[in-house]
Structure 1
């Protein structure tokens, strides 16, 4: 279980390779060494309706949420967050050249007592 979700303003469709961004984040998550391959999920969710700052139509955003299970130190979580944020910031460098883009990331720990999972991918990947 790490689930990484990006909610993004629909006006970014023409300027951001979201599939490429998802793959870049996926690779960064794995490179931390903190998460098992079969557990990683990265997705982008398009927001059709949004209102950003002073409501200029050029304003856009990506709000990132990284939900992880307990068991990592504060330092490990900080390092993972910094690595992910650096990857995304570099990927989106052209957007930061404009005064119309906002990026956020929050890491949340999941309460294991209130989380149910069933994963048929783990056994296949663990065989190799």
Structure 2
């Protein structure tokens, strides 16, 4: 962990650079110093079917969902959330120039007893 999912409305295709957004969000996660590089995943998932607010076709959204393991203080989680939201807000600023865009972020802690992982990336990055 952490895994950051960027869910976005399909009508944002071609209106924002989702590859650049994912790359910038990954860098922001790493800059917090709270997570090991081999654990970070950022993925964007397009929502082809959605209904937003007053159903105007130009309405669009991006929802950021950060799943993390337990072990960080409330202050650390808040700092990470604020940094991610600031990065996303900066890169998505042109979308806020219209009254048809919504951005949200939620951080969720995963119960380690209910989470299974096998990661061959960690040993490589740790030099083992």
SS at match of 2:35: coil
Q: Distance in 2 between matches of 1:49 and 1:108?
A: 24
CA distance in 1, matches of 2:14, 2:54: 21
- Count of aligned pairs between the two proteins: 128
Instruction: Report the counterpart of residue 10 of structure 2 in structure 1.
Output: 10
TM-score using structure 1 length = 0.99
Other-structure match for 1:22: 22
Distance 1:36 1:47 in 2: 29
Q: Deviations over 1:55-76 (max 9, x none)?
A: 0000000011000000000000
1:17-72: CA deviation from partner (whole Å, max 9, x where unpaired): 00110000000000000000000000000000100000000000001100000000
Post-superposition offset of 1:96: 0.6
Q: Please give the per-residue CA displacement for 1:84-104, whole angstroms capped at 9, x wherever unaligned.
A: 000000000000110000000
Aligned to 1:89: 89
> Which whole-Å CA distance do the structure 2 matches of 1:28 and 1:7 have between them?
18
Counterpart CA distance in 2 for 1:6 and 1:19 is 11
Tell me the secondary structure at the aligned position of residue 52 of structure 1. Answer: coil
Q: Find the aligned partners of 2:64 and 2:21 in 1 and give their Cα distance.
A: 12
Q: So what's the TM-score if we normalise by structure 2?
A: 0.99
CA distance in 2, matches of 1:64, 1:25: 10
Q: Which residue of 1 aligns with 2:113?
A: 113
Give the unaligned 5+ runs of structure 2. none
1:123 is matched with 123
